[in-house]
Amino acid sequence: MPLPEAETIADAVDAMEADNDTVCGVFTLRGERGPEPALVFHDNTVRSDGPTRAELFEHCRMLRTEFGVSYRLVDSSTYRSEVDDD
């Protein structure tokens, strides 16, 4: 299954912001054939007034460690190239 299109992501972010939700970055949880799903960070979704990409990744790592959830953390360009290689 492909990653969501940029327009789909933008529409979802607009709807969340219209409901007064603050969106700092966009991730998609993808099922994988291997033992771990991938939490895919969508490039170019970080707001200039929000946390940096590195801070978002670090927060996800902390959540994984804190709650014992197993997943791979990748950015969308890396994930797309992995899927294209299959």
For the stretch 4-42, pLDDT in tens is 888 898 899 899 999 999 888 888 888 877 778 888 888
pLDDT of 53 higher than 70: yes
* pLDDT in the model for residue 14: 92
Q: Domain extents for the chain?
A: 6-85
Residues 6+ apart with CB under 8 A from 81: none
34 secondary structure, DSSP code:
S
Of 51, 56, 62, the closest CA to residue 75 belongs to: 56
Query: Is the Cα dihedral 42, 74, 54, 62 positive or negative?
Result: positive
* pLDDT in the model for residue 44: 73
